[in-house]
């Protein structure tokens, strides 16, 4: 396994940002029973899925403006 050349810029990559957001939404989903009357069941799971797919798509797009 080889790291990418600009690994120091990884936090700037949209794919990384979206993957972290997906993980956060999954963590929120785990605590959802405490908020079951506020948020309908499955909302965070659905959002997490959308963000995870977006991260996969973002990984294929070249990001020119990273500095």
- Domain-embedded: residue 17: yes
- Domain-embedded: residue 44: yes
pTM (global) more than 0.75: no
Tell me the residue range of the domain where 32 lies: 11-59
Total structural domains in the chain? 1
- Domain-embedded: residue 2: no
11-66 pLDDT tens trace: 888 888 988 988 888 887 777 777 667 777 778 778 888 988 998 888 888 777 76
- Domain-embedded: residue 46: yes
- Domain-embedded: residue 4: no
- Domain-embedded: residue 67: no
Query: Mind spelling out the 3-state secondary structure of 4-66?
Result: CCCHHHHHHCHHHHHHHHHHHHHHHHHCHHHHCCCCCCCHHHHHHHHHHHHHHHHHCCCCCCC
């Amino acid at each position: 396994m080889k790291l990418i050349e600009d690994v120091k810029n990884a936090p700037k990559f949209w794919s990384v940002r979206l993957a972290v957001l997906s993980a956060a939404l999954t963590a929120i989903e785990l605590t959802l029973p405490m908020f079951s009357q506020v948020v309908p069941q499955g909302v965070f799971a659905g959002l997490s899925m959308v963000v995870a797919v977006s991260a996969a798509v973002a990984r294929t797009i070249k990001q020119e403006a990273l500095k």
